[in-house]
Amino acid sequence: METKKPLATVENVQITSKIKGNHLYPVFEGVYSKVTLGKEFTGKVAVKAIPCQDTRDSFANELSIFALKPHKHIVECLDLLQNVELGFGEFKNKKYNLIVLEYLSNKDLFEFVSKSRLGEPVARFYFEQILNGIEYLHDQGFVHRDLKLENILVDSEFNLKLTDFGYCVKHSDESGPILFQGTGSISTEDIMPPEYYEGSCYYGQDMEIFALGKLLMSMVLGITPFMKASKEDKLYSVILSGTWHLYWRKIDSWIMSNKLGSLSPAFKGLIEQMLDPSPKFRIKLQDIRKTSWFLDTKCPDLEEVKQVMMKIKEGN
């Protein structure tokens, strides 16, 4: 799995805004936005700052999700502040739209999976929570389009919540499913489906299933199953050629060399359906819960999952 790039930090800075007075905030820089951690009178909050000059409609996309009825597996938005002029460092005299979010102390799923694979039972427990959040978005007419470990937060009870809705848009209009193409199709390169690399276009729900498949593989294995879904990628090119047995041979060889438990046939079967190069044959979201892996995998309870996650967090 790729190493997460270290986040640049600016200590002891002050935001000039309407967040219940002036407070000191450590600031973290994201890829397309500025992410700030801070304190309110009620405790810590996370503040996502999006430049007012943003051309990706990130703020509007985020707002469309936070306008929906709250969901237990979607991060809670506490407040929205527009056209706030920041008064420190490189941000001074620049205007941002701020999204004030609940602060989740266990950070994101990447922090755990990058240290240890979760294995099939724990991944099965968490995958249901992720599905619950994604199904809710799809039912409301939206696709996330940026599903990755870094965009899944872990709360204090070790439950998961989806976050970062800057790429979240409607998946259909009055004519039917929307074909995303050109600049409108751009998201995180690593999770793009193969149809994107073939013609720079995709349908949102088909793309979402592919991203979920890669996410699930990463959770179970603790490594990324391939870098990107193009013929230039040595691992995914094996899948593109239709030789799944050769792909699994490479994965199983890695598992054996690291003295890990083997993958179940049911898991492999589900992954093949989710990562199918052809969106026509890719499994649909509503059918994932009907698969043998989802139905038959012995799922631990929350207390058992907590124990596993605490050990990973503590480095044991």
Contact at 8 Å (CB) between 169 and 183? no
- Which residue in the block uniquely carries the two structure tokens 């690291």? 258
d(CA 233, CA 109): 25
The active-site residue, picked from 146, 164, 206, 276, is 146
User: % helix / strand / coil in the chain, to the nearest 5?
Assistant: 40, 20, 40
Amino acid letter for position 236 = Y
Q: What angle do CA 121, 125, 126 make, to 5 degrees?
A: 120
The pair of structure tokens assigned to 56 is 């990706």
Is residue 173 part of the annotated active site? The answer reads no
What CA dihedral angle connects 25, 29, 30 and 32, to 10 degrees? 110
Q: Could you give the CA distance from residue 309 to residue 1 in angstroms, rounded to a whole number?
A: 19
**What DSSP line would sit under 196-212, residue for residue?**
HHHHSEEEHHHHHHHHH
Catalytic positions, please? 146
